[in-house]
Amino acid sequence: MKAVISVIGKDAVGILAKVSAMCAEYNANVTEVTQSVLQDVFAMVMLVDITKLSIPLAELSDRMSELGKSLGLSIYVMHEDIFNTMHHI
């Protein structure tokens, strides 16, 4: 079971570090990361394995959203199923 963590906002030092530190804290295994900085807009999409997540996914979503607010970024945690059902027949 996987989830997608997307981070969008103004680039700054340590975004990747802070998001992945939180993943580690709750036992979400990062399996793939794509990131780009266009002008100074930072966009990162992270695929994480949530099979052994230590808290409910809804709670991780809340925590990430709070982390995003404290960094002035938007962080969305979404179960991979929403993308699979929407974009694949």
Sheet holding 2-10, edge to edge: 29-38, 41-49, 2-10, 73-79
7 DSSP β-pair partners: 44, 75
* Span 14-73, contacts to other proteins by CB under 8 A: 34, 43, 45, 47, 56-58, 61-62
* Least gap, CB of 59 to other proteins (angstroms): 8
* Least gap, CB of 4 to other proteins (angstroms): 6
Give the interface with other proteins as residue ranges (CB under 8 A).
4, 6, 8, 34, 43, 45, 47, 56-58, 61-62, 74, 76-87, 89
